[in-house]
Amino acid sequence: MYFRFLNTRHIILFMISLSVVYTIVSHEIDLYNLFSGTMMLMNNQSGDTKNMTSVVVPGNAAVSESLQILEKSATDWKMILFWESWSTVLWNESFVGATATELLQEGCPKWKCNVTMDRSYAGTADAIIFPALGFSPSNLPRMPRPQYQRWVFLEMEPPTGIYAVEGANNLRAHNMSHIVNWTMTYHSESDIVGFYGFFLSLGTTVMPLRPNLMSQHGEAMRRYKRALEQGDTLEKVMGPSWRSFVKRPRVVAWMSSHCPTNSRREDYVAELSKYITVDKYGACGDKECKKYSTGPLLHSCWKNVITGNYSFYLSMENNLCDEYITEKVYNAFSYNLVPVVWGGSDYAKFLPPHSYINARHYHPQELARLLTRLHQDPVAYGRYHLWRGYFQVMNKGNLCELCYRLHTDTTSSYHTDISEWRMRSGRCLMAPSNMFNKTLGMDSWRSVIYSHYENLTNVGFGL
């Protein structure tokens, strides 16, 4: 059942030891459970695994090697050490839901993980997570690195982000890529995906390892799509409360503190503002959200000023990179708005259909018309909230996949240059400066933005 999460490295292991691994995978038994009865287990947390090498499955090098890596103690718990906060945010505020209790409640198949920031665990932890920016030779654990311990490179910024570029230069200057075992970024080509938000299927108890992918929500998606196709209204799904839910005095809000960006969202918003009133909060606008600030205060702005007042929110990323979808989108969902997205991702992979509007499909003038029309039509606007009957949005990351793989996965990835890999898989685009230059024609912006990401023939233009 978890077969779909396996990557090519698993497949290689699969081919090497077909029968054993097939049993493990198909019966969802991990190596630990399978062999713990016959192994000499060590309670010594120092991580000395020498004794493990004596456990050999005849003729199966891959499995006996993986046993050494997996085993260190008789406990079934894995320790995850966050070496430091990433950016200015503590791990527990970014990956809320990291604790075993929360993993269990959300339906994570492996939930026995402890998470700590206490560096005295450096010599014994199963994984140490290094936020990219502070990852340097002088800032590594002094303790000897146990054989089984995974060093995880964490970066949630896109490769073209200011801090990511600094981190990448540092990584390259110190030639540190090869000491990393797993990468953890928002991109699905990472070993572990660290997303900003995700959806839970209502009415199910098991959470997929990568719940941010809509393909992992088969059953709820089927039911939701049927409702969409049948033309169900929000009233039918949610009852009479929908009337007050969709009644908003204003059309669209935007909140931003970084103004000139690689995505040139500011150009899009400036052009959009010619055709519709955009209430701009924060440093890039003229509106003040009195309690606006970073951190938890940001939420008080959403709670007190944005939610209930607006139909739409401009969830525009500062970089146009593949799969880069941030809290800007999940904030809008969780505060009951419909996000208007601008980014480099194929959003259909990550968000329910008909839950958002992709600004890349519309000239600002067309978008203004669309938003105005929907704002004035509660039934049509309400259908953008229909997903709420089938999914619950989670405005946070989670460590389910990491915990699961610490229990079950014996592989380690190897990058000669993580920075180069990130840049390549990130598929970022610098938005051009002349997107809305009228002398180039009304449609010039389309080809520039689109061609890098989407198959033009698959995109519906206009209203």
Ligand X SMILES: *[C@@H]1O[C@H](CO)[C@@H](O)[C@H](O)[C@H]1NC(C)=O
Whether the CB-CB separation of 156 and 88 falls below 8 Å is answered with: no
For residue 277, what is the DSSP state? -
Least distance in angstroms from the C-beta of 91 to ligand X: 8
Helix (H) or strand (E) holding 19: helix 18-26
Phi and psi dihedrals of 287, rounded to 5?
-95, 145
Listed residue (62, 10, 66, 12) closest to 39, CA to CA: 66
Least distance in angstroms from the C-beta of 279 to ligand X: 9
Q: Which of residues 16-45 bind ligand X (CB under 6 A)?
A: 44
Least distance in angstroms from the C-beta of 230 to ligand X: 26
Q: Is the dihedral of CA 35, 37, 43, 49 positive or negative?
A: negative
The rounded distance, in Å, linking the Cα atoms of 406 and 191 is 12
Listed residue (131, 98, 92) closest to 112, CA to CA: 98
Q: Which of residues 435-454 bind ligand X (CB under 6 A)?
A: 437, 439-440
| Amino acid at residue number 10 | H
Q: Which of residues 123-162 bind ligand X (CB under 6 A)?
A: 148, 150
The rounded distance, in Å, linking the Cα atoms of 73 and 276 is 62
| Cα 345–chain centre separation | 12
Contact segment (CB under 6 A) with ligand X among 184-192, 193-201, 303-311, 355-363 equals: 303-311
The reply on whether position 244 binds ligand X by CB under 6 A is no
Close Cβ partners of 416 (under 8 Å, ≥ 6 residues apart)? 177, 178
From candidates 26, 175, 257, 294, binder to ligand X by CB under 6 A: 175
Least distance in angstroms from the C-beta of 379 to ligand X: 21
CA distances (Å), origin 85, targets 82, 129, 330, 423: 7, 10, 22, 24
The reply on whether position 165 binds ligand X by CB under 6 A is no
Q: If binding means CB under 6 A, how many residues of this protein chain bind ligand X?
A: 31
Q: Which of residues 310-369 bind ligand X (CB under 6 A)?
A: none
**Pick 79 or 340: Cβ nearer ligand X:** 79
Phi and psi dihedrals of 307, rounded to 5?
-65, 140
Q: Pattern of binders to ligand X over 411-430, x per CB under 6 A?
A: -x------------------
Close Cβ partners of 55 (under 8 Å, ≥ 6 residues apart)? 35, 38, 39, 40, 64, 67, 68
From candidates 2, 5, 32, 77, binder to ligand X by CB under 6 A: 77
**Pick 145 or 369: Cβ nearer ligand X:** 145
Alpha helices by DSSP H, listed for 303-443, are: 327-334, 364-375, 378-382, 400-408, 418-426
Contact segment (CB under 6 A) with ligand X among 2-10, 225-233, 390-398, 431-439 equals: 431-439
**Pick 1 or 461: Cβ nearer ligand X:** 461
The reply on whether position 276 binds ligand X by CB under 6 A is no
From candidates 60, 85, 114, 188, binder to ligand X by CB under 6 A: 114
What is the radius of gyration, based on Cα positions, of the chain? 24
The reply on whether position 434 binds ligand X by CB under 6 A is yes
**Pick 26 or 241: Cβ nearer ligand X:** 241
Least distance in angstroms from the C-beta of 248 to ligand X: 8
The reply on whether position 93 binds ligand X by CB under 6 A is yes
Which residues are at the interface with ligand X (CB under 6 A)? 44, 46, 48, 50-51, 69, 77, 79, 90, 92-93, 100, 114, 148, 150, 175, 178-179, 181, 305, 307-309, 412, 434, 437, 439-440, 455, 457-458
